[in-house]
Amino acid sequence: MSRRRDPDDLIARAGRGDPRQDQHFLVDDRVLDRIPTYAEEFDTEHALEIGGGTGALTDRLLAVADHVTVIERDRDFARFLRTEFDGAIDEGRLSVVQGDALEVNFPAYTVCISNLPYGIATEVAFRLLGEREPAVLMFQTEVADRMAAEPGTSEYGRLSVAAQHFARVEIVEPVPPEAFDPQPAVDSAIVRLTPREPDYRVPDEDDFLSLVKAMFTQRRKTVRNAIRNTTHISGLADGDAVVEALDEEVLSRRPDALEPAAFARIATVAAEVQ
């Protein structure tokens, strides 16, 4: 393995991150070196990195991917990346996109490997899940736990259902605050998302996700009441008709106890009776 760039040196030359801007850069070489190994089973022809910062992870990705696209919101850090990795850019192996990851168009990537900005991590995760490509992502531990949570637990929610609908979710490594500079006030975890086809069908994915979102606003109500009370969110034209078409076993449970397949059943019934 060729010598990797030192993350502390990159920060010294690029400038330290601003925690008020959600900039916490990985500086632990061991964690940086391990992150790409969690994607070894995936196609690394084109790696997408969201939040490149000073380029410590970018450097590791260039060692394993044919091409890397980095999306970086901060103009100064995007400029630094273009200068620091000008050789890879000239070789056609790196593209640096300055912009907001929630707004820019993603390229046709094969895997996303990122230390996500935590302030937008959940929103970015929803967008990435819809792309149906594998990912290795850093989240704060609370978000990682929610993605992997089982029905009936306090962590289980909308993100759990969406993540597990699209992918197999694995928390592969905890990461302490000391691995970052500046240090965040929370623990972190690396999550691997392997795309999967669920063992159920939904008539319309957007409608399914809207239903899930709506019902978790009433997570401690019965399914019966959650459906009736959230038609303004779910978009259901007739909540009562959906309730009448479902069996009591489902209606008497709470949304936070339903597995993804049960939400799919509700969405299917809703499409049939609307």
Binding-site members for S-adenosyl-L-methionine are 24, 26, 51, 72, 100, 115
Q: Which contiguous run of DSSP H or E holds residue 95?
A: strand 94-98
Which residues are known binding-site members? 24, 26, 51, 72, 100, 115
Cβ burial, residue 173 (10 Å; 0-12/13-18/19+): middle
β-strand 94-98 against 67-72: which pairing, if any? parallel
Nearest in space to 74 (alpha carbons), one of 27, 132, 17, 33: 17
Collapsing DSSP states into helix, strand and coil, what is residue 11?
helix
Bridge partner list, 137: 114, 191
Tokens 């070894």 belong to 40
CB 46 within 8 A of CB 110: yes
Inter-helix orientation angle 141-148/121-131, to 10°:
40
